[in-house]
Amino acid sequence: MTRAATAEAKMSADEISAARTSAEHNSFDTASFDYSIAAELFPTRSRKSRRSVMKYRRFARAADAIRFAVEELPSELLLGAYLEVDEKRFGSDGIRHLYESARYPLARRGKRARRPGRGN
């Protein structure tokens, strides 16, 4: 078994999905992202609790889904969450990138609005 295969075998299904989703996001140009179309948010289960705090949720506008994910979801749920918009998936890093984009149409608010890596 290769080193990568061994590492992947040790990861949970949620972690694998998040890693693949993050990789898909890296090749996407946010300049063409449409914040006004419908979006689906799929948060993962909390690793601290056996009960999920929130399940699948559909939003009329992607901007609202992004705002909810960044500003409202607990950190442990955002970490493995993904957003699906127009058959494209965005992991937690992609969601944050869309939120921080100059093109994001809503006002940012709350302590979770900080840039990644700055002590969220």
Average pLDDT over the chain reads: 74
Q: pLDDT tier at 17 (50, 70, 90 boundaries)?
A: low
The average pLDDT across 30-53 equals: 76
Within 13 Å and on the Cβ side, how many CA atoms surround 62?
23
SS (H, E, C) 53-90: CCCCEEECCHHHHHHHHHHCCCHHHHHCCEEEECCEEE
Residue 79: pLDDT band with limits 50, 70, 90: confident
Interatomic CA distance for residues 59 and 61, integer angstroms: 5
